[in-house]
Structure 1
Amino acid sequence: MVIRAITFDFWNTLYADEGHAFRALTRRRLDHLARALAGVGANPSNSELYEAYKDGFAMYLAAWREQRHLGAHEHVSYIFDRLGAHPDDGTVDRVARCVEEVGLGFHLTLQRGAAESIPQLAGAGIKLGIISDTGLTPGRVLLQFLERDGLLEHFSTATFSDQTGVAKPHPRMFIETLTALDVPPSQAAHVGDMPRTDIAGALSLGIMAIRFAGYDDRREPPPADAVIRDHRSLLRILELPA
């Protein structure tokens, strides 16, 4: 099998939040929401705001399991409605953007071997792309971490669920990416950590599925074509010089 393109999931595949910043960032997002709510005359208690925030996230998870995307704009709109606030569209847009950009505070670190293998793969002529679901932190924010680490230039395209409106394993996530790369599924591989989304989505289209187990070793079905714990193993799988 000749592999001409490799696509990567973002979360817990290329990057993970080793600093465990999730709780601190949630507090910052709640602070933005509280100020915005006060600005339109709503003053919920801390517990009321947190419950609305938590229920909004549960709504996101339910949509994600149905291969639909809900992002910060929908989350913020839900919270305002839930708490009886009636902001104009500009306020919702502004608060949603603040909520999104809090994601720059994640302590994201590259996973093992990514910093070395990505330039080597690109240098060997392999086309690289990203296929990733997003939550409150959209793709435009996540790409800034790749730019920070000097890796963005090696990727030809990136497809995020906040752009497509659908979530993996929906075929559109993979098809749009491979179309942009101009590579058929039979000549592509996808690397991701989640069997339900990454592995199932790739296999359904005849894409080689490689499960990354270096951060979270998820062993539920379906089985992948290969399992790696270090991204440098991709060079061996593709029989490229290390």
Structure 2
Amino acid sequence: MKIKGVSFDFWSTLFVLTDEKKTWLVVKERMLKIFSEYGISLEGEKLLDCFREAMAICLDKQENHGLEFDPEEQLQYILARLGIKFNKEMFESLYLAYTTTLLDVPPKLMDGAVQVINELAGLFSLALICNTGRTPGKVIRQLMKRNGIFEQFEVVHFSNELGIAKPNPEIFRKTLAKLNLSAQEVVHIGDNPLTDVWGAKSVGMRAIWFNWRKEEKQVDCDLEIDSLWGLKDKILNLA
């Protein structure tokens, strides 16, 4: 059946964190400053440990259960682990520090992403399906707009806004419904064999594994690529 729609993963497909450690250190310093303003003294390494725990829970819920552990829940978990009581004003300040760092320390666009998105937008209906992690959809939309690709997408789905995450089949079904296309008419592109490839194929979509890391493993995909360049012709050849 002819391909009419293309859905993309966000992280490590369209954008990539070049220095995740640096990003977490910036988040740490911003949050420590807020704690200090409220008279709370805290060891930076202890805060980083809580970040790691929260993200481990988030990834487990998403990848193994298809559920979401959104940034607000992550921050609540971190504060509970630290035994810190907070009021609404303090929580809102910490939430901004925790979730918006990438606006100041932005991720890098994957090579060819803008050109390929612009090229595909003239031929296919485009969708984004993103497991959000620490950075909510509200912030990711800003990153996309800054780089001139947001308007090309007819559908944008973020796990923190839907309460479900890839590889949950329901997030793919919701995307298909919004596109008003059948599963056989849409191909999904992403770097994660579980959340992207398996998730898409579980509802009957075709799946392209973006193996830019050049991992040597067998993945049940319809096509494997290591670059976004030339994607239009490769999708057309799938039809």
Q: TM-score when scaled to structure 1? A: 0.88
Shift of 1:42: 3.1
How far apart, CA to CA, are the structure 2 residues paired with 1:53 and 1:112?
29
Q: So what's the TM-score if we normalise by structure 2?
A: 0.89
Give the match for residue 6 of structure 1: 6
Question: Does the C-alpha gap of structure 1 residues 46 and 119 become closer, same or farther in structure 2, counting only changes over 3 Å?
Answer: closer
Q: CA separation in 1, counterparts of 2:227 and 2:45?
A: 42
The structure-2 alpha-carbon separation of the partners of 1:61 and 1:91, relative to structure 1 and needing over 3 Å to count, comes to: same
Tell me the SS of whatever aligns to 2:204: coil
Change (3 A) 1:236 1:56: same
Residues 49, 146 of structure 1: alpha-carbon distance in 2 compared, 3 angstrom cutoff:
closer
* Contact 1:73 1:93 (C-alpha < 8 Å) held by counterparts: no
Contact 2:189 2:208 in 1 (8 A): yes
What is the CA–CA distance in structure 2 between the aligned matches of 1:139 and 1:173, rounded to whole Å? 15
Given residue 150 of structure 1, which amino acid in structure 2 is its aligned partner? Answer: G
Residue 133 (structure 2) pairs with residue 140 (structure 1):
no
Tell me: CA distance 1:85–1:207, structure 2 relative to 1, closer, same or farther (3 Å).
Answer: same
Q: Which moved more, 1:60-69 or 1:165-174?
A: 60-69
* Count of residues in Structure 1 that have an aligned counterpart in Structure 2: 236
Give the corresponding residue for 1:197: 195
Structure 1 residue 58 and structure 2 residue 90: aligned? no
Name the structure 1 match of 2:34.
36
Superposed CA deviations along residues 35-76 of structure 1, whole A, max 9, x for unmatched, are: 333344432223332322322222223222322221321222
Query: Residues 122 and 47 from structure 1, CA distance in 2 versus in 1: closer, same or farther, beyond 3 angstroms?
Result: closer
**Two-structure CA RMSD over aligned residues (Å):** 2.0
1:157 maps to 155
CA distance in 2, matches of 1:27, 1:2: 47
Q: What pairs with 1:116-135 in structure 2 (closer than 5 Å)?
A: 116-124=115-123, 126-135=124-133
Q: SS of 2:11's equivalent?
A: coil
Q: Is the 8 A contact 2:50 2:78 kept in 1?
A: yes
CA offset digits 1:181-238 (Å, max 9, x no partner): 1111110000001111100011111101011123x23454541101122323322123
- For residues 201 and 45 of structure 2, the distance between their equivalents in structure 1, rounded to whole angstroms, comes to 43
Amino acid at match of 1:121: L
Confirm or deny: 8 A CA contact 2:34 2:93 kept in the other structure: no
CA contact (8 A) 1:188 1:207 kept: yes
CA contact (8 A) 1:132 1:161 kept: yes
2:82 corresponds to 1:83: yes
Question: Is this contact kept in 2: 1:72–1:97, CA < 8 A?
Answer: no
For the residues of structure 2 that align with 1:139 and 1:158, how far apart are their CA atoms? Answer: 9
Of the structure 1 ranges 175-184 and 27-36, higher mean CA displacement relative to structure 2 is found in 27-36
Q: Point out the more displaced range, 30-39 or 72-81.
A: 30-39
Asked if 1:235 is matched to 2:208, the reply is no
* 1:208-219 pair list within 5 angstroms: 208-214=206-212, 216-219=213-216
2:89 equivalent to 1:95: no
CA pair 70-220 structure 1, distance change in 2 beyond 3 A: farther
